[in-house]
Structure 1
Amino acid sequence: MAGHLFLVVLLFDTFQSIKAQGPPLPRLTVSPAFIRESDSVQLSCETSPSVSVSQCYLFTEKRDFKPSCRQTLTGTELLSWSDQRSPAVVNVRCFYYAIGSFSPSSDSDPGSVTVQVPPQLTVSPEVIRDTDTVQLRCHTSQSTSVSQCYFYIEERQHLQQTTSCQQSLTGTKLLEWAGQGPTTKVNMRCIYNAVEMSIYSPYSDPVSVTLLDVPQPKLTVSSKVIRERDSVQLSCQTPPSVSVSRCYFYTEGRDPKPSPCTRSLTGAELLSWAGERLSAEIKLRCHYTVETHYPSTHSHPAPITILGKIVLFL
């Protein structure tokens, strides 16, 4: 009995000695560790410099082997190879054969590559004043269960967290986030956190929200009382700092008419604008658009009284 026990111990020691003398364990590296489906990842089975390698094999948990020490794959190819779909964590291992050896090395520890679909950010409208509101929405894949979405401004760390992946913000709040001047273009992005994973998605492509400082114009008229044959000078006065593309004059209940910011009209023309035939008080307003075709607020009304023809009875 003692002889049998001695033989078992001897065989175990011999096996451990052979294992210790086997090829060194390889190391599977991935770069980068987080990719989109359209991005590429570099997989590398790294071995000891003292080992002359004849062949490496990369494989996933499906045990689908690729005979290579280095491989570049897109996220789509990686998902297909591992029979997974985004978002997913793909674990890749490797082993190798040393030259002159018929036994493979042990498997490496797994190298993980996270493949995720980036969200798409939409904003509506894309041009606002500081008092207006913009709607932000972070769109994700229908197959992705999202726990949180985050909105942020490029090059700054201000994050807005929401579980609905939708957010309404005023221009004032955006300017507060951006810390910039009154007229500026703010580049927004969003990311999300998938329920089944504890990491963030890639960033969405940037979407711009333009915040405009579009002050209210002032409408002036050269005369407040005229006859039909008389002319009146209209001026839609805008701040010199604003680049105006066009002005619009209009009466209440009538469509705005594009015009130079200063123009002259007769009383008869004003009556025609307002759809009046007899003497009347017409309340004019104006607004202007900037280069982005975004309109200003309306001016305060400027009333003009137009007197009809005087008829003398003898």
Structure 2
Amino acid sequence: MELFIITLLHLLMEVQSYNTLKKPIISVDDSTNQFTISCEIPLTVKAEFICNLYTEYGPLTHRSYLRRTQNREQLCMFYMSLSEIFKQNQTVNSRQLSCDYSVKTDSENEMNLRSPRSDVLTVRGFPQAKLSVSSSVIMDRDTVQLDCSNSENQKMDECYFIIDGRENKQSRSCQLSLTRSDISIGSGGQRSSVIITCYYTVYKSQVLMPSPHSDPVTVTVQGYPQAKLSVSSSVIMDRDTVQLDCSNSENQMMDECYFIIDGRGENSKQSRSCQLSLPRSDIGIWSGGQRSSFIITCYYTVYKSQVLMPSPHSDPVTVTVQGYPQAKLSVSSSVIMDRDTVQLDCSNSENQMMDECYFIIDGRGENSKQSRSCQLSLPRSDIGIWSGGQRSSFIITCYYTVYKSQVLIPSPHSDPVTVQTEAVTSRTKNTAAVPRSIDNSGATPKAKEKRMLLIMLLAVACSVIVLTGLICLCGFACKKRSKR
């Protein structure tokens, strides 16, 4: 009984201690190239636990190692580099560290009881880097001077300059001279303003320890003037030619020009004279022949320091091509009977010369019929074969082609025309409307079937009666003979 009471009291004390968990004690050792952060857990904690590490910016997800000292102290050890501690904000040179622990109070896998946070411990890194630039705005042939330093005369072994977050230029002197082309290459040539930062490293215990990054500095590059596109006409006819001219408003020297249609840079046309003469057929081939209106832009390049520097693109210019007139389809009749023939005629409203015509049924271009005369005579049976014989109503269109510059240029398709076919005569229809056939006697097949069945049953009945009568006569004759 006494043992039971002692065990019960012990459990009550342990539960009470769980409900009043004491906060841990945090300490840091920075004597080596790694920070050793200790989170000491009170001895009263007997259950399984895990430790958590925090900065003022949130939790640090880092593995901890459990260690027990000779004095039975329970320690969670975190081994972290300076860069890992400062990765959440690289422009601040101090961190406020704290820790806590979570305890498992049941058999489940979750840690369901957490201690208060430890006291805050401030860790200081190297002083923040400081970036100076000779000018925040540079012209085409200017050079910008970059200088990375710090406010506390901290020794710096190397410096790194970052352009738009992706270009890392290294300098042992912590100074850098950049031309306009260097900045353009570093930023990918996509922007006229770039953001530059720097940081330095200190060689400590055979490891390079980085400083917090400097505040960003914006450098604006005054690039080449925007290209300007001029066209001889914004609307051209079938046999016209459009003249394209790419220039700029400041007489900037241009080594080469590029003309782009509908934004497809991979299909651009190059010109050293920055002028281009295009007939209507070339524009059709260049654009893929899918549209009658096209958007054209241009840009120029300047060869400098063995690099081609592109200018900003020109404003877009729309060129509309007046194509061939729409095809027009005429049919001799929209309803044809079994032995009729339909006449198809493809033309246009402006007497445009037509080299060939194509007739299409139900939109199936792969099964089109070709005609050099642009006329077609089709009997009803041919239309059935042409359409696959699946329908009695068909939609027919046509278009024509013009052979120009060794290319067949198609016209817009005609409006659709519907043709209906009458596949059978009225006599056949009346016959087909009768639901069942009748023989010469006026009886239907079902009536005849019933009559035959009745006759068979009567025949079987008569046979049974005759056979029964014969059996009775034989029996009577035998009795009479025995009496004698």
Smaller-chain TM-score range? 0.3 to 0.5
Structure with more of its chain in helix, by fraction: 2
Q: Which is higher, the Rg of structure 1 or of structure 2?
A: 2
Pick 1 or 2: higher relative contact order, CA cutoff 8 A, min separation 6: 1
TM-score by length of 1: 0.40
